[in-house]
Amino acid sequence: MSALTTQAAAVSPWKIDPAHSHAEFKVKHMMISNVKGHFKDLAGTLFLDDTDLTRSKIDASVEVPSIDTRDPQRDGHLKSPDFFDAEKFPTLSFQSSRITDRGNGELSVTGDLTIHGVKRTVTFDVEGPAAPTKDPWGHTRIGLSATTKINRKDFGLTWNATLETGGVLVGDEVTIALEVQFVKS
C-alpha cells in the first residue's frame, strides 16, 4: 500500500447532527446586558484526519431564516435588510483553511466566515474533538465546542439606533459559541 493510500484512508467524513448541535450568538443590548440567539438549522461536514488533526477540514453552514432570539418581532427585524437580509443572503457559512493544535485537547481553527455576503477570516478556539463514542443505534459520534468574537460591522451589519441617554442600541462585538456533535458518515 502506498503512503498516499494510507494517508487518504486516515481521513473520514463526519456530518453535523443538527438535533444535537447548537450555534449561538450574543451581543450587547442597550449597553447594559447581552441578548442571545441561536440558529436552528445547521449543516456541514468535518473531514477528520485521524493521524493529524491539523490536516482536517470543516465546511459548515447555518440557515438565516432559522434564527431564534425568543422574540418574533426581533427575529423578523434580524432577517430584514437592516441586518442579515435573509431573502438575499439566506445562509451563513464557514470553511476552514488552517488548524493549529494548541495542546491539551484545544485547537485553533481559522477559515473564511461569510455573513451577509461578506467573507472574512476568523479563528475559532476549539475544545475537542471528544474521543469517538458509539451511540445506542450503532453510530459513531464525536463532539466539540468552539467560540470566536467578531465585529458585526466587518460583515456589513451596520444598523443601529442611538439611545436618548447616549450610547447605542446594539453592540458591535458579537460572540459566537458552537456546541457541535458529528456522526461518522
Instruction: Supply the pLDDT for residue 161.
Output: 83
Q: What residues pair up with 126 in beta bridges, in sequence order?
A: 107, 146
Which range among 5-19, 79-93, 139-153 shows the weakest confidence by mean pLDDT?
5-19
Does residue 91 belong to any structural domain of this protein?
Answer: yes
- Amino acid 153 reads K
- Amino acid 114 reads T
Cα 115 to Cα 157: distance, rounded to the nearest angstrom: 9
Q: Which domain holds residue 23?
A: 10-184
**CA-based nearest residue to 34, from 78, 82, 86, 69:** 69
Cα 21 to Cα 180: distance, rounded to the nearest angstrom: 4
> HSE-up of 116 (CA within 13 Å, CB side)?
17
Does residue 98 belong to any structural domain of this protein?
Answer: yes
Burial string for 76-102 (b: 16+ CB within 10 Å, else e) reads eebbeeebbbbeebeebbbebeebeee
Cα 2 to Cα 96: distance, rounded to the nearest angstrom: 28
Does residue 129 belong to any structural domain of this protein?
Answer: yes
Structure-model confidence comparison of residues 50 and 99, the more confident one: 99
* pLDDT over 70, % of the chain: 95
Does residue 90 belong to any structural domain of this protein?
Answer: yes
CATH number at residue 53: 2.40.128.110
Does residue 5 belong to any structural domain of this protein?
Answer: no
Instruction: Supply the pLDDT for residue 6.
Output: 47
Instruction: Supply the pLDDT for residue 93.
Output: 97
Instruction: Supply the pLDDT for residue 1.
Output: 42
The sign of the dihedral angle between the CA atoms of 128, 133, 136, 140 is positive
Q: What is the mean pLDDT of residues 64-75?
A: 95
Does residue 110 belong to any structural domain of this protein?
Answer: yes
Does residue 175 belong to any structural domain of this protein?
Answer: yes
Structure-model confidence comparison of residues 8 and 47, the more confident one: 47
- Cα–chain-centroid distance for residue 74? 21
Q: Convert the pLDDT of each residue in 121-154 to its tens digit.
A: 999 999 999 999 999 999 999 999 999 999 999 9
Identify whether the C-beta of residue 84 lies closer than 8 Å to the C-beta of residue 72: no
How many domains are there within the chain? 1
Q: The whole model's pTM is what?
A: 0.89
Does residue 170 belong to any structural domain of this protein?
Answer: yes
Q: Convert the pLDDT of each residue in 15-27 to its tens digit.
A: 999 999 999 999 9
Q: Convert the pLDDT of each residue in 99-119 to its tens digit.
A: 999 988 899 999 999 999 999
